[in-house]
A and B are shown apart, each in its own frame.
Chain A
């Protein structure tokens, strides 16, 4: 047996170790990115999530103005801090619409009265169907929809204070 063959297993072992260390050092991105970025918002129509507020349909998003479509829920803990940042965005004139996932009107009303309400419309998605149609996989997530109703950006996880300038510039680009 020649030398190269004798050392082959050792080289294979070294290659495996290098691969393992590399993956430990740079973990895989476990976020699920929607494949709909750059595509129009799929057709949907959701009933109002609570009385006194309109529901939301695809047509409400293509109004000649960019929209921030926020996927949230009253039972979602990070949504509490996010909704406060959203109110600041709303004060700056951002049109924010919500899709409430698996929510009850009474829970949602309590959530909004305790934490504030930045939403123009809130649709109720009781079986996560529109969430799935949008390629979203959790709460909170947000989509920036441009003036023509095309998805320009998907934000996975809560929008935090530090994200505000980035979100505003994305909205500006979506005009």
Chain B
């Protein structure tokens, strides 16, 4: 039970400066926003850091906005986070073997559907 409590605990410090503040440059803010919705919160693991109220998510939003404001590319920030937490941290599917079924499933389903339709048409034509 104690192991679960640190997730609920909060510090006495206010949120990081850029945690809940938009960047003045709308283009940069849009880029930051787009990245933040695709980065998983480490505390509330079903949420993105854009949606999460966890303090750590706020600190991660601060980190993302600071780096975007400094001119870093979103893809570089994502890669930096993946280096630390694994591809699990990013909601964007990758091309690594574990994700192949995800990419192949729609193609396989389409082919299966085409076969079914073809059989139906044949049965009708035959009947």
* Interface mask (A123-142 → B, CB under 8 Å = 1, otherwise 0): 00011110111110111100
Assess whether A55 is interfacial by the CB under 8 Å rule.
no
Chain A residue numbers with a CB within 8 Å of B81 are 132
Contact partner, B86, options A35, A73, A77, Cβ 8 Å: A35
**Closest partner residue, chain A, to B59 (CB atom):** A128
With A104-B13, A127-B16 given, is the CB distance from A77 to B6 under 8 Å? yes
Are A157's CB and B3's CB within 8 A? yes
B43 interface contact, C-beta 8 A? yes
Tell me if A30 counts as interface (CB < 8 A to partner B): yes
Chain A proximity mask over B74-89: 1 for CB below 8 Å, otherwise 0: 0000000111111010
Expressed in whole angstroms, the minimum distance between the Cβ of B120 and any Cβ of chain A is 13
Cβ of B96 under 8 Å from chain A = no
A100: nearest chain-B partner, CB-CB: B11
**Overall SS of chain B's interface:** helix
Q: Which of A32, A73, A104, A129 contacts B42 (CB 8 A)?
A: A32
Interface residues on A, range: 20 to 34
**Inter-chain contact B16/A138, CB cutoff 8 Å:** no
Q: Does any Cβ of B come within 8 Å of A76's Cβ?
A: yes
Binding site for A on B (CB under 8 A): 2-3, 5-7, 9-13, 16, 42-43, 45, 55-56, 59-60, 62-63, 81-86, 88
Which 4 pairs across A and B sit closest by C-beta, in order of nearness? A102-B11, A135-B84, A137-B42, A128-B59
A sample of 24 inter-chain contacts (CB < 8 A) reads A34-B84, A35-B84, A75-B9, A75-B10, A78-B3, A78-B6, A102-B59, A103-B11, A103-B13, A104-B12, A104-B13, A127-B16, A127-B62, A127-B63, A128-B60, A131-B56, A132-B56, A133-B84, A134-B84, A135-B85, A138-B6, A138-B42, A138-B56, A158-B3
